[in-house]
C-alpha cells in the first residue's frame, strides 16, 4: 500500500495543474500595443488601449485586467516614491531654494485723485514648503512728465502661511504702501490671524482670513498716527478654461484671480479690491489685465475716497 501513495500525490498534483485558472495567451500585436501603452506611463492611454483590447479580445479579459491592475499598483508605488523624494528635497532645501514667481512690466491708467497713464512694474515670489509657505510681492506705478513726478505708488507685502490642516491655516502679514496722491508718504500694516480654505480644487480656490492688525500712517502734511485695527481678507483664483486656441502656434490659458482686503479701525476703513485676467502665451510668458480699487473712508483733506487703477502688463514666470 505504501508505494501507491506517491502515485496518488502525483495524480492529485497533475489534477490541480489542469484545474487551476490559466490566462489565454494574448495575440502578439495586442500584447505589443498594451506593452507600449504601459511603457508610456500615461494612465489615460493605458485605460483606453486596454478597454479597446478587451472589446476586440473578449477571451483575454482576465489577463488584460491583471495587466491593468499591475500597472495601477506600479503607478501608486512610483507616485509614493516621487512624493517622498519631493518631501525630502524640500526639507533639505536651503533658504534661497524652491522660490518661484514672475516679474511684470506694462502700463496703467488711473482715476480718482489722479487721472493719467504711466509705467507699472511688479515682482511676485512664492515658496511652498511642507507646512510653511511664503509670498513676497511688490508693485510700483510711476509717471514723470516735464521734470515733475505726477504718480508714485508703491505697495510691498510679505505674507507667510502655516498650514494647520487641509482647511485651516495661520497667516502673518507685513505691508508697506506709499501714495502721495492719496495723501500719505508711508503706511505700514502688521497683522496675523486665522484663515480657512473654503474651496480648494484644481479649477477654483477660495480662502478667507481675519485677525487683528496694527497700522501706522505718515501723512503728506507731516502728521502721523498709529492705531489698532482689524483685517478681513478674501483670496480667490478661478481657471475659467483649460486652453483656448487662438492661432496654430499660440495657446491661451485664461485665468481670473482676485483679492479683497479690508483694514478697519475706529476712524478709517481702507479696502483694496484687485481682480485680473491672465492669458498664457507660452510656458513662461503671459499677458495680464488687472483692475484695482482702493477706498479710504476718511481720506486726508484734499483727497477723494476712491482710486482705481487699470493695468495691462507682460509677465515672465520663473
Domain residue extents for the chain = 14-91, 99-317
**Do 98 and 130 contact (CB within 8 A), yes or no?**
no
CA–CA distance, 56 with 68 (Å, rounded to integer): 16
Model confidence band, residue 212 (pLDDT cutoffs 50, 70, 90): very high
- Give the model's pLDDT for residue 242: 59
**Distance in angstroms (rounded) separating the CA atoms of residues 21 and 13:** 14
Give the pLDDT mean for 214-221: 90
Indicate the DSSP class of residue 146.
Answer: T
Element containing residue 140 per DSSP (H, E): strand 132-145
CA distance 163 to 73: 30
Distances (CA, A) of 221 to 133, 208, 273: 38, 36, 27
Average pLDDT along the chain? 82
Cβ-contact 214, 231 below 8 angstroms: no
CA terminus-to-terminus distance, the chain: 83
CB 235 within 8 A of CB 256: no
Whole-number percent of the chain with pLDDT over 90? 28
Grid cell listed for 112: 480718482
Question: Region 43-57: what's the mean pLDDT?
Answer: 90
C-alpha pair distances (Å), 203 with each of 109, 123, 238, 299: 30, 24, 6, 38
CA neighbor of 207 nearest in space, from 163, 174, 177 = 163
What mean pLDDT is predicted for residues 253-272? 78
Question: Residue 47 above 60 pLDDT?
Answer: yes
In the prediction, which pLDDT does 228 show? Answer: 92
Q: Evaluate if residue 9 carries a pLDDT over 50.
A: no
Asked if 281 contacts 252 with a C-beta cutoff of 8 angstroms, the reply is: yes
Beta bridge partners of 11: none
Distance, CA of 42 to CA of 75 (rounded, Å): 10
Which cell goes with 235?
483670496
Query: Most confidently modeled of 88-102, 135-149, 184-198?
Result: 184-198
Please identify which residue in the block is written with the cell numbers 483727497.
303
Q: What is the mean pLDDT of residues 164-190?
A: 91
Q: Domain 99-317 maps to which CATH number in 2.60.40.10, 2.102.10.10, 2.40.160.40, 3.90.1170.50?
A: 2.40.160.40
Q: Per mean pLDDT, which range of 13-27, 135-149, 226-240 is the poorest?
A: 13-27
C-alpha cell at 65: 485586467
Residues β-bridged to residue 196: 168, 208
CB atoms within 10 A of CB 2: 5
- Of 261, 274, 273, the closest CA to residue 195 belongs to 261
Contact between residue 104 and residue 315 where contact means Cβ atoms under 8 Å apart: yes
Amino acid at each position: 500500500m505504501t508505494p501507491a501513495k506517491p502515485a496518488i500525490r502525483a495524480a492529485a498534483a497533475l489534477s490541480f495543474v489542469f484545474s487551476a485558472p490559466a490566462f489565454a495567451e494574448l495575440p502578439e500585436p495586442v500584447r505589443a500595443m498594451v506593452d507600449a501603452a504601459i511603457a508610456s506611463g500615461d494612465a489615460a492611454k493605458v485605460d483606453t488601449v486596454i478597454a479597446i483590447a478587451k472589446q476586440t479580445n473578449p477571451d483575454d479579459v482576465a489577463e488584460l485586467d491583471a495587466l491593468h491592475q499591475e500597472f495601477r499598483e506600479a503607478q501608486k508605488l512610483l507616485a509614493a516614491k516621487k512624493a517622498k523624494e519631493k518631501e525630502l528635497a524640500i526639507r533639505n532645501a536651503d533658504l534661497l531654494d524652491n522660490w518661484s514667481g514672475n516679474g511684470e512690466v506694462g502700463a496703467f491708467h488711473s482715476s480718482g485723485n489722479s487721472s493719467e497713464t504711466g509705467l507699472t512694474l511688479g515682482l511676485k515670489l512664492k515658496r511652498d514648503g511642507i507646512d510653511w509657505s511664503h509670498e513676497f510681492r511688490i508693485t510700483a506705478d510711476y509717471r514723470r512728465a516735464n521734470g515733475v513726478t505726477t504718480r508714485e505708488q508703491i505697495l510691498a507685502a510679505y505674507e507667510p502661511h502655516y498650514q494647520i490642516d487641509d482647511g485651516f491655516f495661520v497667516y502673518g502679514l507685513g505691508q508697506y504702501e506709499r501714495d502721495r496722491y492719496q495723501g500719505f508718504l508711508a503706511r505700514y500694516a502688521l497683522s496675523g490671524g486665522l484663515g480657512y480654505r473654503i474651496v480648494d480644487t484644481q479649477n477654483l480656490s477660495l480662502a478667507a482670513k481675519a485677525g487683528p492688525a496694527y497700522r501706522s500712517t505718515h501723512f503728506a502734511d507731516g502728521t502721523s498716527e498709529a492705531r489698532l485695527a482689524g483685517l478681513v481678507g478674501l483670496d480667490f483664483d478661478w481657471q475659467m478654461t483649460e486652453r483656448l486656441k487662438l492661432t496654430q502656434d499660440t495657446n491661451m490659458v485664461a485665468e481670473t484671480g482676485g483679492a479683497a482686503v479690508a483694514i478697519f479701525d475706529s476712524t478709517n476703513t481702507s479696502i483694496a479690491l484687485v481682480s485680473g485676467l491672465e492669458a498664457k502665451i507660452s510656458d513662461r510668458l503671459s499677458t495680464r489685465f488687472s483692475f484695482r480699487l482702493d477706498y479710504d473712508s476718511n481720506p486726508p483733506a484734499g483727497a477723494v475716497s476712491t482710486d482705481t487703477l487699470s493695468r495691462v502688463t507682460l509677465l515672465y514666470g520663473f
